[in-house]
Amino acid sequence: MFLIYIPLNAEPSAFELQSGATKKELSTIKSTNKTLESVVTDLQNRVSSLEQIQDGLKSLFEGQSLKIKNLLDSVANHQNSIKSLESVQELHSNTLKQQADLIQALKTEVDNNQKSIKELDKKLNDLSNLLTQINTTMISQLNTIRQNLEIQTPSPDTNKDLNKQSNPKVSKSSQYINPNNFKKDVSKQKEIFQEARKMIPQNKLQEAKARFEWMVESNYRPAHSLYFLGEIAYKQKDYKEAISFYKKSALLNDKANYMPILLWHTAWAFRYSKDLSNYHKFLDSLIYLYPNSEQGQKAIEIKNRTKGKK
């Protein structure tokens, strides 16, 4: 932009004087110059205002551009967040589906377990009924054994008297055979009992017999002690006395772990006594009550051989 500078209030130049300009004209020119100067100043102010407005618009544009950029960045971030949420949602959806499948599988398994439990309950009931029948049969068989042994079940009040009973001949014999007169210390009954057991395989039968008789008299493990007295008599081939001791032992405890041996030796005691009827009855009882025991297996072999001969 070019500005025209016109000096005001200056004296007319020689050129102006020579041109013949009058004072009035000069005054008009001065007035015009002032007007132009005012217009120029106004234009300058307007230009300055426009420049300021332009700067403001530029700043506003830059600010808006920055906001738009920030908004675009924010939109991009939101889009990324949405994609992440969609991925998480898809993952959760798959997890829920897997859990639903698992719940269905568990439900199926529970149904199967309930069916199995019902079947097991039925089998248990059947087994319980079978055990009841077996127990009834065993009780009947044990009663038959007692009848075969010709003994009566004593009442609890008479057990002690039964344990204290001893063959007079046996007591006299034990006193005679046991000259060492072992110390009958009640506090050491366990040790004496074990000592007597060890004497049997050592063939110290009389010493063992004296100790077991004292055990019966003092009511220390009477059923077991009577069983060992039967074993001693069996080894001494006194089968009648052996059967008597076996009877008393079985009467006191017919669930002892030595019952298969007791029944086996009782059967053979009858066999050696030529009582074949009771011999076979005790073999049958042994097979029925203890078929899986060593003695039960031997009894089965004997019965099978007997059937083969027939």
Q: How do residues 69-126 score in pLDDT, each as one tens digit?
A: 998 988 998 898 888 888 888 888 888 888 988 889 988 888 888 888 888 777 777 7
Q: Which residue has the higher pLDDT, 240 or 124?
A: 240
Report whether pLDDT(156) > 70. Answer: no
Which residue ranges make up each domain of the chain? 157-309
Is the pLDDT assigned to residue 264 strictly greater than 80?
yes
Is 11 a residue whose pLDDT tops 80? no
User: Alpha-carbon distance 172 to 101, whole Å?
Assistant: 85
Mean pLDDT estimate for the chain: 81
Q: Is residue 22 very low, low, confident or very high in pLDDT (cuts 50, 70, 90)?
A: confident
> Quick one: pLDDT at residue 118?
84
Higher per-residue confidence, 216 vs 140: 216
Residue 138 confidence (pLDDT): 63
Residue 254: both structure tokens together: 């017919």
Output the pLDDT for position 170: 39
pLDDT for residue 301: 95
The CATH architecture to which 157-309 belongs is: Alpha Horseshoe (1.25)
Burial code (b: 16+ CB inside 10 Å, e: under 16) for 9-30 equals eeeeeeeeeeeeeeeeeeeeee
**Model's pTM, two decimal places?**
0.46
Q: Is the dihedral of CA 23, 28, 34, 36 positive or negative?
A: negative
205/10: higher pLDDT? 205
Instruction: Report the first-to-last Cα separation within the chain, whole angstroms.
Output: 151
Lowest mean pLDDT among 18-27, 44-53, 126-135: 126-135
Query: Could you tell me which of 228, 230, 233 has the C-alpha nearest to residue 197?
Result: 228
